[in-house]
Structure 1
Amino acid sequence: MARSRSDSLLLPLEPGKPDFASERKLMRSGIEFIVGIDEAGRGPLAGPVVAAAVILNPKKIPDGLDDSKRLTAQRREELFDIITDTALACAVASISAPAIDATDILKAALEAMRRAVCGLSILPGHALIDGRDVAPGLPCPATALVKGDQRSVSIAAASILAKVTRDRMMAQTGKYFPLYGLESHAGYGTEFHRNAMETHGPVTGLHRFSFSPLKDRQF
């Protein structure tokens, strides 16, 4: 007998790919809304860190969800639209480069996560967070999952929203700072980017002056 789409969600997804097991376990304990949380942009020398929070519809889980780093840019863009169309709720938040410099990247990333969750239209009953740290001040209990974007489809969906949102932000910013090639490297420390900083200098409000090599002025 053929399975319906909703029935198939009760089975493990493709081996090595994120699945719905963590969410299903929480739902069996009586929790209705589980939010996946992830961020993009901890490592770049320029631009914000961006976090996303996604509550998937268990009956409309998009096919092909995975860690955003394991997807092509085109596939991320496609899934971004599908996720935002089918999810019960989703939200993104960002922390600027100056705010990162004023604290540190971990605190900034966790604050972006908290803001994303607080921006949801639905109050979640539990949060699944990629990594080892739980963002303080969340409005619900939370569990940190190491490599969560490769284990939980909710976190994978959040990783895609965060990555695509940040890439779009950096491409737009690149129009105002064309000498730095932001649309191609999204602020990461590529050779082109480092050479551009050496030639033209870093930009206040864009670059992260607390990051090496900027803090040492060694490009």
Structure 2
Amino acid sequence: MPYEPPTHTVERSLRATTGAKVIAGVDEVGRGAWAGPVTVCAAITGLRRPPAGLTDSKLLTLKRRTELEVELRAWVTSYALGHASPEEIDTLGMTAALRLAAVRALETLPVRPEAVILDGKHDYLGTPWRVRTVIKGDQSCVAVAAASVLAKVQRDKMMAELGVDHADFGFADNAGYPSPVHKAALAERGPTPHHRLSWAYLDALPQWRHLKKVRSWVDGSAPEIEGQLGFDF
């Protein structure tokens, strides 16, 4: 399906309105997975013409996404990945885990960005970062699209490596997201050390429900409810 290529419109706007010259695009992958980390990529691209075909990683075929990731690693000015582990997700909740992963990525960059373009409508970074959120930024903004592809391909590789010792779960194919193979393995074998144990999928597994972790309320606020997608056998 044809799609409009991403542009530097947001970057140019930020430069004009804030004076920022070093701008990072930020995107995440793994938010809805049942296993594995949530991964955030921060990419600095400048205003150069991007590789042909760049767009949101979800719109690309596996073959093209893999090829493009190689091109992007050589093309971007710099990029860095940050991860929050399943244990950190269980302890902190997804919003705080996303912030943790994003800060890890941003602080690993060789130059601290003066502004950040964050995919989506919710600013999970907050102060002291200067953030502009962009809905579907991974389709419209060059730096965010680059971050989208880099994050997706590299997290998928991580999940394939984790799956070597847990072949029944199909992590190389499902990247820790719910799938028939993943659900069947969970029902038979229970969660691996790479699973998020505070999520609702465990409610549908009576034999493993005792492993579920419940986060404490913090400052009087109710904990987030993660893993809303149940088994639906």
Give the TM interval when normalised to the shorter protein.
0.7 to 0.9
Q: Distance in 1 between matches of 2:189 and 2:62?
A: 29
Q: How does 1:41-120 map to 2 (within 5 A)?
A: 41-120=30-109
CA contact (8 A) 1:128 1:145 kept: yes
Displacement of 1:139 after TM fit? 5.5
- How big is the alpha-carbon RMSD for the aligned residues of Structure 1 and Structure 2? 1.8
- 2: distance between equivalents of 1:158 and 1:102? 26
Structure 2 residue runs of 5 or longer lacking an equivalent are 207-230
Structure 1 residue 85, shift from structure 2 partner: 0.7
Task: Indicate the residue corresponding to 2:220 in structure 1.
Answer: none
Partner of 1:11: none
User: SS of the counterpart of 2:52?
Assistant: coil
Indicate which of 172, 189, 192 corresponds to 2:178: 189
SS in 2 for 1:113: helix
> 1:16–1:59: structure 2 CA closer, same or farther, 3 Å change rule?
closer
Tell me whether 14-23 or 108-117 shows the greater mean CA deviation: 14-23
Aligned residues: 205
Query: 1:127 maps to which residue?
Result: 116
Q: Secondary structure at the match of 2:200?
A: coil
Range that drifts further, 147-156 or 21-30: 21-30
Report the 3-state secondary structure (helix = DSSP H, G, I; strand = E; otherwise coil) of the residue aligned with 2:89: helix
CA distance in 1, matches of 2:203, 2:55: 35
Contact 2:125/2:131 (<8 A) preserved:
no
Q: Distance in 1 between matches of 2:149 and 2:203?
A: 30
Which residue identity is paired with 2:5? K
Query: In percent, how many aligned pairs have the same letter?
Result: 37
SS at structure 2 position matched to 1:54: strand
1:212 aligns with 200
- 2:166 alignment partner AA: F
CA contact (8 A) 2:169 2:186 kept: yes
Residue of structure 2 in register with 1:18 after alignment:
6
**SS state at 2:40 partner:** strand
- Say whether the 8 Å CA contact 1:208–1:214 is kept in structure 2: no
| CA 60–17 in structure 1, closer or farther in 2 if over 3 Å, else same | closer
Shift of residue 200, structure 1, vs aligned partner: 1.0
- Report the CA distance between 1:28 and its aligned residue: 3.1
**Which aligned segments of 4 or more residues in structure 1 are displaced greater than 6 angstroms?**
none
Structure 2: distance between partners of 1:138 and 1:77? 34
- Scaled by the length of structure 2, the TM-score of the pair is 0.82
Q: Partner of 1:184: helix, strand, or coil?
A: helix
User: What secondary structure is seen at the aligned counterpart in 2 of 1:213?
Assistant: helix
Tell me how far 1:27 sits from its aligned partner.
2.5
Do the aligned residues in 1 keep the contact of 2:29 with 2:155 (CA within 8 Å)? Answer: yes
- The answer for the alignment partner of 1:153 in structure 2 is 142
